[in-house]
Amino acid sequence: MARLKQPPRVSAAAESSPQPSSSHASDFFHPAADDQAAIEQLHTESLATDAPPLPPSPAVFIGAELLNAARIDHRRNSPVIDMARKNRAGKLKRASLIPESARTNLAVRGDVYEIELSPEKGNYALPEKVNKKPLKIVKKKPHALAKLRPAEDLASTHPDMRSSPPQVAPVGSDSIAIDTVTEEILSSKANSHANAPGNVRIEESLDNGKPRCTAVFYKYDKITGPAYRQCLRPGTGQTDDGFRCGIHLGKPPVVRCGEMAISDNVTTQCYRAAAKVTANGPRCPTCIEQQGYETTPRDKRKSAPIHQEDQPTKIQRRKSEPAGKPTSSEKTKNQVRDLQEESSNPAPARKRGRPQKDGSIASTELNHQLPTRTHKSGSRPTISQEETGRVGQLPESIDTVFSFLDLEEREGTCQTKRARKILHVCERYCANFQDDTHSIDAVTQNAMKIQEALQQTPKYYSTEIGKKHQLAFKSDAYSFVFRALTLYLRDLHDWLVKTYESATESLESLRVIAPLMQEILAFNDAIRQWHVTVPQRQKGDRVVKDVQSRLITPLRRVSQSLSVRLSQLQEGEERCKQYEKMERRMKERRDAQSEQIRAIEAMEERKKRWQDLHIVRMQCEPDVYRRRKLFHTRFEDLVERDANGVIFERLPIFKPRSTPPHSQVSELADEVEWTEDEETAVLEGLQYCAGPRVFEKIFKTYCDPRSSHSRGGDLRNRSVAEIISKARWIRSTMLTLRQESGEPVEEWVTGIPILP
């Protein structure tokens, strides 16, 4: 029987009955008394009604969840011994005889029905700190209209009078009244970014809500090509065009080089990034060096409005300072040298026929013509009408280059030996043009010698010994050598025009004059790299400036156009050569086909002649039985073939053939034995029946027994192949005997046909 937790209650009858006396106390310990008490308790419970259990309170659920959470956290952080237990997430621990962990003493057994302690008081206490990671404090992002506060402040200082009061939306409508000032500000911002270079879509904020730099810079990538991109840095300062980062506050963004090139009627723009601003717009160092653009501090100061809106007031104030102090970070060594040469020549010399005020007026007009930008306009490097006109106004003739000779010739002599050598060579070759017997080959050789001299000179002065004389030679080059080269170039041009009627449309003339121009430009580019400055002979001397602007710049454009024309003419000549080669190849193919057709026709004709001879021979034999013995020799069996079975023919090459070629027909004459009468009949027939139809006549005269000739029927037993082979043998033998004895050969011998 199960053990009761509480003693059984005493019934009412028992309570009302008197207590037993002490005499009956010994009966309480009797087993029958315990059975009676149990029976009474069961009877009482059976009479009681079963009431439905009450639902658990919410506190019970909260306590169970806390207990489960504590147990799960304990299992995750428990040692390896606890990992062997089953992980039952969200369930209570199964009741067991071991209420505590395995580290407790197993000999001490507790009560099975003992309630475990609360998680907050026992070994499973919850940690004091729930979340060990620090919380991330996120600030509220500013609204998009917060960036418009400065503009609103400016507008608030000068309020505009409204023409009419703002309209109020009626009650119950979904419309919202929007201020017109905000709309105007948003539209102005949209219009300011509409003209961004390369149609870049300007984003005014970053992902974290901070303002983004609105500067757009140019970058060239070999994979993606040229493109404009917006700066990815956050904006630290605000300008008229929007926020700018610390880098673009100090300097304008990079733009694309505006140099345009024309090739095959196609205009292309340089893909490099511009480094300097010249009188013709932004240019890269390569185009400045090739085209001979010059950039003075005044030009830079005048061309500053290209990026003026991208710079704050402090930067503009810095640009107003004198430009005679260039920084090392903005100019390379070559640029500093060019600025020193140009600054040392502020005005042309009076004796060169150019007043000083003309230069200032020209520079002022040039500065007024520089492309400027309006307020809040983008820095997109588009092709302006002035640049398009300048590209279209390339000199079509070489007369622009020869205008350099209009300047007054400089007095003095060359300081270096190599400069004097170039001068003497040019003078001597110029005098050769006066000779009417001068050929194009001699002119080409003279031009090549001048090119070799121009190539070797920079190499010599690049050595350790030659570097000491670079200044002297550079002075001689700009003072005398370029003038002598221009004189030779003009005389060469006049001689080519006189000889070929055009020096720019003739391929022979362009092959002479175009390489010479290119070599002169390469010579100028080489000596410009020297780190020496040509001194001035007097104040306002423009020796370097005149050569660069009056000679090198137009010569470079003329050389480029002539090179394009030369390549076009060379391509045309190459196409003509290819066409002639193709025509010659087709003609050879047609001739080969014609020769093959003639050979086939000749073979067919010989084959037909061979068949006709057999027919005539059969007709000359009246006996049918004998006619069967005159077998027909196939023509294909008598034709010579090589080891591969291809038919070939023996032809005379060095001299006419004296003997007939080897043939299988001649082998038959050696195998068959002939009688004297038969040989005499063949020899007599070849003499008296000579002609193109000699064998037909021999067959009718000497093979037919019905013939009236005295020797008729002597060759009745011989076939066509045997008679023809004997005739070939007689022909070759007679020719050999006549050649050995030196006697003339009879006509009937040479007239014997060679068959088949």
In a domain, 240, yes or no: yes
Return the DSSP state at 535.
P
Kindly state the greatest CA–CA separation across the chain.
198
Asked whether residue 506 is assigned to any structural domain, the reply reads yes
The mean per-residue pLDDT over the stretch 26-34 comes to 55
Do 207 and 336 lie in one domain? The reply is: yes
- The whole-angstrom separation of Cα 156 and Cα 172 is 32
Give the length of the chain: 756
19 SS3 class = coil
Q: How many CA atoms lie within 13 A of 717 on its CB side?
A: 8
pLDDT digits (tens, 9 = 90+) for 536-591: 777 777 888 888 888 899 999 999 999 999 999 999 999 999 999 999 999 999 99
Q: Which of 87, 105, 122 is the last residue of a domain?
A: 122
The pLDDT of residue 664 is above 60: no
* 79 inside domain: yes
Q: Looking at the structure, tell me whether residues 228 and 326 fall in a common domain.
A: yes
Listed in sequence order, the DSSP H helices in 78-130 are 80-83
Q: What is the pLDDT of residue 167?
A: 45
Q: Hey, which of 458-472, 556-570, 644-658 has the most confident mean pLDDT?
A: 556-570
Mean pLDDT of 587-604: 92
56-65, 228-237, 382-391, 589-598: range with lowest mean pLDDT: 382-391
User: pLDDT at residue 192 above 70?
Assistant: no
Cα-flanking dihedrals φ and ψ of residue 218, to 5°?
-100, 140
**664, two tokens:** 């299988």
Closest CA to 119 of 78, 67, 82, 64: 67
pLDDT in tens, 480-518: 999 999 999 999 999 998 888 888 888 888 999 999 999
**Same domain as 495, residue 357:** no
What is the full DSSP assignment across 672-709? S---HHHHHHHHHHHHHT-STTHHHHHIIIII-TT--S
Buried b / exposed e along 349-368 (16+ C-beta atoms within 10 A): beebebeeeebeeeeeeeee
Mean pLDDT of 50-78: 70
End-to-end CA distance of the chain: 142
Residue 665 has pLDDT above 70, yes or no: no
H or E element, residue 475: helix 470-476
Query: What phi and psi values does residue 260 have, to the nearest 5 degrees?
Result: -110, 140
SS3 97: coil
Do residue 691 and residue 742 come from a single domain? yes
Q: Is the pLDDT of residue 296 over 50?
A: no
Decide if pLDDT at 651 tops 70: yes
- Domain that residue 93 falls in: 65-97+116-122
Residue 633 lies in a domain: yes
Token code pair at residue 49: 């009604």
pLDDT tens digit sequence for 225-274:
888 888 988 988 888 888 889 888 888 888 889 888 877 677 788 888 88
Measured CA to CA, the distance from residue 516 to residue 455 in angstroms comes to 11
**Amino acid of residue 560:** Q
**Based on the domain organization, do 419 and 540 belong to the same domain?**
yes
400 vs 397: CA distance, rounded Å: 7
For residues 547 and 641, membership in a common domain is answered with: no
DSSP letter, residue 478: I
The verdict on 443 and 367 lying in the same domain is no
Which pLDDT does position 199 carry in this prediction?
77
Shared-domain flag, residues 528 and 639: no
36 lies in some domain = no
Residue 519 lies in a domain: yes
Residue 494 lies in a domain: yes
Which amino acid is present at 704? Answer: D
The whole-number pLDDT of residue 2 equals 45
Q: Which of 707, 744, 702, 708 is nearest to 722 (CA)?
A: 702
Distance of CA 157 to the CA centre of its chain: 57
Instruction: Out of 51-65, 564-578, 691-705, pick the least confident.
Output: 51-65
Q: What is the arithmetic mean of pLDDT over 363-383?
A: 36
Cβ 666 vs Cβ 723: under 8 Å = no
Q: Which residue has the higher pLDDT, 608 or 277?
A: 608
Q: Are residues 431 and 360 in the same domain?
A: no
Cα 241 from Cα 238, distance rounded (Å): 8
- Which positions ≥6 away from 727 have C-beta within 8 Å? 682, 686, 695, 752
**Domain boundary, last residue among 350, 382, 414:** 382
**pLDDT for residue 392 is more than 80:** no
Name 256's Cβ contacts closer than 8 Å, sequence gap at least 6: 218, 226, 269, 270, 271, 272, 273, 274, 282, 381
Evaluate whether 532 touches 468 at the Cβ level (below 8 Å): no
∠ CA 379-380-383 to the nearest 5 degrees?
A: 130
Angle at 602 between CA 598 and CA 605, to 5 degrees: 140
Task: Look at the chain and report how many structural domains it folds into.
Answer: 4
CA distances from 356 to 345, 352, 366, 529, 541 (A): 11, 11, 16, 29, 11
Mean pLDDT computed over 682-711: 90
Query: Based on the domain organization, do 367 and 438 belong to the same domain?
Result: no
60 or 562: which leads in pLDDT: 562
CA distance 213 to 242: 8
- Residue 604 sits at the vertex; the CA angle it makes with 602 and 609, to the nearest 5 degrees, is 95
Mean pLDDT of 45-68: 73
The verdict on whether omega for the bond into residue 756 sits within 30 degrees of 0, i.e. cis, is: yes
Section 656-677 average pLDDT: 66
Beta bridge partners of 237: 244
Mean pLDDT value of segment 643-647: 81
Both 551 and 671 in a single domain? no
Most confidently predicted of 81-90, 247-256, 354-363: 247-256
The lowest-confidence range among 197-201, 212-216, 331-335 is: 331-335
Averaged confidence pLDDT in the chain: 72
For residue 132, what is the DSSP state? -
3-state DSSP helix/strand/coil % of the chain, to nearest 5: 55, 5, 40
Q: Indicate if 221 and 299 belong to the same structural domain.
A: yes
pLDDT exceeds cutoff 70 at 301: no
Q: Which residues contact 251 (CB under 8 A, 6 or more apart)?
A: 307, 311, 315
Average pLDDT over residues 287-304: 57
DSSP letters, 608-639, are HHHHHHHHHHHHT---HHHHHHSPPPPHHHHS
SS3 call for 734: helix
Spatial contact of 679 and 711, defined as CB atoms under 8 Å apart: no
Q: Is residue 435 situated within a structural domain? A: yes
